[in-house]
Amino acid sequence: MVPGYAGRLLHIDLTKNIVKKIRLKKSFIKEYIGGKGFGARLMYDMVPPRIDPLSPVNPLIFLTGPVTATGAPASARDVVVTKSPKTGTFLDSNSGGYWGCWLKIAGYDGLIITGRASKLSYIYINDGSVELRDASGYAGYGVYATTKGLIKEVGDNNAKVAAIGPAGENLVKLAGIVNDLHHVHARGGPGAVMGSKNLKAIVISADHRNPKFDLADRDGFNKYNLKIIREVVRGPPEEWARTDGTPIIVRWSNDVGVLPTRNFQVGVFEYVDNIDAEVMRSFRTSKGACYRCSIACRNLTRLKDDKWGEIELDGPEYETIAMGGSNTGVGDFKAIIAWNNLVDDLGMDTISLGNVTALAMEAYEKGYIDKNITNGLELGFGNIDAQMELARMIAYRKGIGDILAEGAREFVMWLGGDAYKMALETKGLEYPAYDPRGSVGMALAYATSDRGACHLRAWPIAEEAFGDMDPFTPEGKAELVINMQDLNAVKWSMIFCDFLDADYEMIANYFNYVTGLNYSADTMRLIGERINNLIRLFNVREGFSRKDDYIPYRIAHEKMPRGPNKGFSVKPEIFNKMLDDYYELRGWNRDGVPKKGKLRRLGLYKDFFKTNIHSM
Amino acid sequence: MVPGYAGRLLHIDLTKNIVKKIRLKKSFIKEYIGGKGFGARLMYDMVPPRIDPLSPVNPLIFLTGPVTATGAPASARDVVVTKSPKTGTFLDSNSGGYWGCWLKIAGYDGLIITGRASKLSYIYINDGSVELRDASGYAGYGVYATTKGLIKEVGDNNAKVAAIGPAGENLVKLAGIVNDLHHVHARGGPGAVMGSKNLKAIVISADHRNPKFDLADRDGFNKYNLKIIREVVRGPPEEWARTDGTPIIVRWSNDVGVLPTRNFQVGVFEYVDNIDAEVMRSFRTSKGACYRCSIACRNLTRLKDDKWGEIELDGPEYETIAMGGSNTGVGDFKAIIAWNNLVDDLGMDTISLGNVTALAMEAYEKGYIDKNITNGLELGFGNIDAQMELARMIAYRKGIGDILAEGAREFVMWLGGDAYKMALETKGLEYPAYDPRGSVGMALAYATSDRGACHLRAWPIAEEAFGDMDPFTPEGKAELVINMQDLNAVKWSMIFCDFLDADYEMIANYFNYVTGLNYSADTMRLIGERINNLIRLFNVREGFSRKDDYIPYRIAHEKMPRGPNKGFSVKPEIFNKMLDDYYELRGWNRDGVPKKGKLRRLGLYKDFFKTNIHSM
């Protein structure tokens, strides 16, 4: 057994009601590390092309990595891997909190869940034992009541819960899986997959003083970890995270004109002063941390108010503030806290939800829809009451919410005509909160991200509008995006969170102390590239290619009307240049398919021939 | 307005509860004729890539054609068009009966249904009026009770009903939409799409003495029609249909060794004498016809028996006899009648259901599954009681039926290991009842069919094992398949049924008498080619390409163990030769994508650029 791993995955088939333990092979660990890497390999081998993501055969896989629960900074992570019902692509969706650590402490590197329970159920993992239990009493419950109820039900105040809300039960494509009340595996609809399995929650009891895994070199690990905490975590690289956390980005984004405002119609928000980090501080009661994380980026906030009552929240983060604030025209931090609190309870992705809400608002203001269709809601920008009600309508699939529950792409199709010009998405995943018209690399990052438009695969704006590169030119952006994507593939496999400023060297050091293997930075880089290429093969097998690596109409053809990027749009010639460069540097052909030579170098050559698995 | 058409489509959005009438444009008629052709154009223009077929935005479109309800032979057809939840491809699924004729007589060339009703509903079209009515009292009802109940409810004994059974309500991917009790739009899961819209049925009252359309040259039409009835319908070409109908094929197929037996493990059935047309005749009470069809191919049967009780059936057809008889090892015609009767009532496709049932039986016999998982069913071949129970388990998604409800591809994935070797499907659609190891052209027909493995796009066995061509060699098969596919695309647009032995000349004549246009046979051929290329563009946009035009493992690699085709399999070199020829003759590139020159000649050049509609 390799140190750093519990050494086994748990396979639970809910149709058969059978639990199997699968030993981790050393070769699997060596080639794919953990987390996202494990998920990429498992999905490629298990899932033939074109299955319905909401069918019982789609696996819902929770994975941890070698640093999970070790006390390394930013290591309290797990990832859920599945075929996305939102995009049809491979999906990995991360979350922090405690739940993922408890899974590993209980002795499992991951869970593979297949089939479908005959009634609403939850899984209870209590160290050695695994049970499928009735959850029909929780049908329709929000995440908060479910989490608290199940903790009481299992009789362990220290039990950790990953749950879905009504959105997941109703197969809403924006539904996430929520760890520990507020940590959401949000993007790509994993909550709908869990809902399709009639699985309301997974509850884990574990003794965190006796984790069921060991480290190869505990002393070495501790010494190195302390050094990183001193030099990196307590040093300048993490200062922003230690102090304000992600809300600081609101100001940065507005300053460079990329803060999505009123459905990306513009990149600066006139009420930015009402929603920035300074305002956040006035609601903050303390900083919070995930399990044993020394960064403690989180802001615990409290709101007490006649309109909203009393709310205690872990958040809001930048993406929530931007997508549910400036992007919907809401310049009121209290309202954003209330919306965040509601959306976590309903169990949805604040990014996609904020995006489709703003889209519906634009459609309303432009006359595509009216009050007859919105159940009377006056859905103009800035109407927070309508925004709250619309979140419920989406989670419960009421009226127009039933259409918005599918996403931006589907909503504009339903509207017909030229409504598609208002949709901000790639591969069916809604744009997050950086407008590429102020950093063209983001257009490439969104277009080539494995799971659709995502800022967590590559964040080139760090070097463009927030750094020293020209944000309006295509040169060098492909290389930047590729480097970030490959590094992140390794981070999401270890699993480190976004906020550890780690390079391959640091990652390799952590990996070596934990596992006793002796990996170089270059090996780590190769693994990152391997993971991204294997996922591309998965997506290619599902029929994705260059045609799916697109940018939305608005980004390409509507010039930013004001702000620092006034007059600019990511014209097709800029985008196509970046995409051509990207494919070439990746070793993919002009249609975006990995070439055989590249696959051979990555040890994936045999996988190419699996493309057509049915006739083999 | 062009004669032969009612001149308008009805668009009903179930979310908005809004009905709109859309005038048919003359250019649309001229380029796409009707039926399948209309559907191809509508789907390409309305539906962006990658939407979930079971989402409310997927349109469910019913269409008729210029000869529908005219009294031409084999013209009592309608087609349902949608994105298939079974395959993800374009889907057109035909049915006979009366319902489609009533739709046109009532004044509509087609219905486009989008959105989702807030509760189980039915649409009632009563000549001019269109209503959405409550059907919640019919939840869970079979097709028969629903049909009879709704006819009573609307108070018109002559009303026609298209309904789904419990399978459609439960989103079973094998679910069809049933016209007039026994005429099923079966393949590709259109019943699941209807179920996803909370739409139980569409009921039409219409006065068939006063059809809301006219013919351009009624006298010419009548004279020509009489000539065709005399020379073709009453002549040798239709003799098989007039006398025994499709059950005659049981004997033909067995004689040439292509009758699927025990999940295509062999092509001859030792109990063929128990299930052939001669046996059928002993149950037949009379011949039956669809609305004004002079062929009257149908066999109305009656069974009275201690085991099965009393059953009156319109059927069974060849495909049902083979897929639910020899293919499941059941050599008992009574049992086949009983199964057919059950499956029509549950509202499923007998082809796909027979296929997955046989697959489950093989899996059971080979030990992939056991009684613990089948709810105690002894699922060996030939066990009709288990076969009946399994049909119910699939329709209600109970136990293992929940997995089989997804299809063969998904079931073998769930089994894992080398179970995929037992699945007979292409693009996720299960093989129908001709084993290509006795006519290799069928392998190409199944692989290149627009909706997955289907014998109704091309039926080259007519010229191979049933004709004069060598059934084991690839030469000439691509041309044969293409010619049949293009001709059929025109037939399914007019809409003629399979059983009219029509060439382009005859089709053009009918079209010209009906519409007053002056189309040549060559124009018709071009339109057939255009329709098939536009549908290919739709599928390409969804990511389909050569990799999806495959043949199953068994067909390629397992030699037929006995019978006339003993020792033969459709080796990859044979298949690839046919596929290469096919793409070349089609004017498609080696990956199966139409080339620009071909599209230009078909008037589809601009559509190629719509591939990436979001960034345009």
Task: Read off the CATH number of the domain in which A145 is found.
Answer: 3.60.9.10
Do A399 and A442 lie in one domain? The reply is: no
Contact B614 A409 (CB under 8 A): yes
Residue A492, in any domain of the structure:
yes
Q: Which residues of A touch B406 (CB under 8 A)?
A: 51-52, 55-57
pLDDT in tens, A538-573: 999 999 999 999 999 999 999 999 999 999 999 999
Q: How confident is the model at residue A128 (pLDDT cuts 50, 70, 90)?
A: confident
Residue A610's pLDDT is 55
- Contact, B481 vs B444, CB < 8 A? yes
Q: Does residue B374 form part of some domain?
A: yes
pLDDT bucket at B609, cuts 50 / 70 / 90: low
Domain membership of residue B2 (yes or no) is: no
Residue A612 pLDDT > 60, yes or no? no
* Candidate from A526-540, B434-448, B600-614 with smallest mean pLDDT: B600-614
Residues B79 and B93 sit within 8 Å (Cβ to Cβ): yes
Nearest to B553 among A48, A543, A615 (CB): A615
Query: Do both A370 and A330 map to the same domain?
Result: yes
Q: Does some domain include residue A489? A: yes
Residue B402 and residue B510 in one domain: no
Contacting residues of A for B548, CB less than 8 Å apart: 49-50, 543
Do B127 and B108 form a contact (C-beta atoms < 8 A)?
no
Q: If you average pLDDT over residues B244-249, what whole number do you get? A: 96
Instruction: Identify whether residues A398 and A456 lie together within a single domain.
Output: no
Contacts of A614 in chain B (CB under 8 A): 409, 420, 423, 425-426, 550, 552-553
Rounded distance, CA B383 to CA B375, Å? 15
Amino acid at A579: L
- Greater model confidence, B233 or A613: B233
Same domain, B199 and B325: no
CB B452 within 8 A of CB B429: yes
Is there a domain that residue B216 lies in? no
Q: How confident is the model at residue B610 (pLDDT cuts 50, 70, 90)?
A: low
pLDDT digits (tens, 9 = 90+) for B109-122: 999 999 999 999 99
pLDDT tens per residue across span B551-607? 999 999 999 999 999 999 999 999 999 999 999 999 999 999 999 999 999 999 888
Q: What is the mean pLDDT of chain A?
A: 96
pLDDT of residue A613: 45
Cβ atoms of A26 and A40 closer than 8 Å:
no
pLDDT at residue A614 tops 60: no
Whether A226 is covered by a domain: the verdict is no
The whole-number average pLDDT for the span B202-216 is: 97
Q: Is residue B373 part of a domain?
A: yes
**Interchain contact, B51 vs A550, CB within 8 Å:** no
Binned at pLDDT 50, 70 and 90, residue A127 comes out as confident
CA B196, CA B297: separation in Å to the nearest integer?
33
**B277 and B154 co-located in one domain:** no
Of residues B426, B542, B616, nearest to A543 (C-beta): B542
Distance from CA of B453 to the nearest CA of A (A): 13
Domain boundary among B178, B205, B232: B205
A265 shares a domain with A172:
no
Distance CA A38, CA A101 (A): 17
**In chain A, what residues touch B420 (CB-CB under 8 Å)?**
48, 613-614
Q: What is the residue-wise DSSP string for B352-400? A: HHHHHHHHHHHHHHTTSS-TTTTTT----TT-HHHHHHHHHHHHTT-TT
Answer whether B83's CB lies under 8 Å from B51's CB: yes
The CATH number covering residue A546 comes to: 1.10.599.10
Best of B45, B55, B574, B576 to substitute, by most chain A Cβ atoms within 10 angstroms, is B55
Domains: count for chain A: 3
pLDDT tens for residues B479-497? 999 999 999 999 999 999 9
Where are any strands of DSSP class E within A407-550? 425-426, 429-430
Q: How far apart are CA B414 and CA A57, in angstroms?
A: 6
pLDDT digits (tens, 9 = 90+) for B283-324: 999 999 999 999 999 999 999 999 999 999 999 999 999 999
Distances (CA, A) of B539 to A418, B40, B60: 23, 11, 17
- Is the same domain home to B404 and B454? no
Q: What is the CATH number of the domain that holds A289?
A: 1.10.569.10
Q: What is the structure's pLDDT at B128?
A: 80
- The 3-class secondary structure across A273-319, one letter per residue, is HHCCHHHHHHHEEEEECCCCCCCCCEEEEEEEECCCEEEEEECCCHH
Q: Are residues A290 and A366 in the same domain?
A: yes
Instruction: Name the residue among A402, A413, A552 with its Cβ closest to that of B47.
Output: A413
Mean pLDDT of B508-536: 98
pTM of the model: 0.97
Q: In chain A, which residues have their Cβ closer than 8 Å to the Cβ of B615? A: 550-553, 556, 572, 575
Assembly ipTM: 0.95
Average pLDDT over residues A577-606: 95
Range of the structural domain that residue A505 is part of: 436-608
Pick from A205, A228, A261: which residue ends a domain? A205
- Supply the pLDDT for residue A117: 98
Same domain, B487 and B373: no
Better pLDDT: A590 or A606: A590
Give the residue from chain A lying closest to B59, CA to CA. A414
pLDDT digits (tens, 9 = 90+) for A223-237: 999 999 999 999 988
What is the predicted pLDDT for the residue at B613? 45
- Partners of A578 on chain B (C-beta within 8 Å) are none
Residue B541 tokens read as: 């946009």
Shortest distance, CA B540 to any CA of chain A (angstroms) = 8
CA distance A577 to chain B (A): 15
B542 contacts on A by Cβ (under 8 Å): 543
Confidence of residue A188 (pLDDT cuts 50, 70, 90): very high
Tell which residue, A361, A422, A434, A424, has the closest CA to residue A391: A361
A with B: how many residue pairs have Cβ under 8 Å apart?
Answer: 153
Residue contact B52–A118, C-beta within 8 A: no
| A278 beta partners | none
Do B498 and B574 have their domain in common?
yes
A15: nearest CB among B49, B402, B548? B402
What is residue B612's predicted lDDT score, i.e. its pLDDT? 44
Q: For residue A609, what pLDDT band results from cuts at 50, 70 and 90? A: low
Q: Do A50 and B87 touch (CB under 8 A)?
A: yes
Q: Smallest Cα–Cα separation from B66: which of B57, B55, B75?
A: B75
B249: in domain: yes
Q: Averaged over A487-511, what is the pLDDT? A: 97
Nearest to B461 by CA among B318, B296, B262, B359: B318
Contact between residue A2 and residue A215 where contact means Cβ atoms under 8 Å apart: no
Q: For residue B550, what is the nearest residue in chain A, using CA coordinates?
A: A615
| A36 and A155 co-located in one domain | yes
Q: Identify the domain boundary among B408, B423, B450.
A: B408
Residues of chain B with pLDDT > 70: what percent? 99
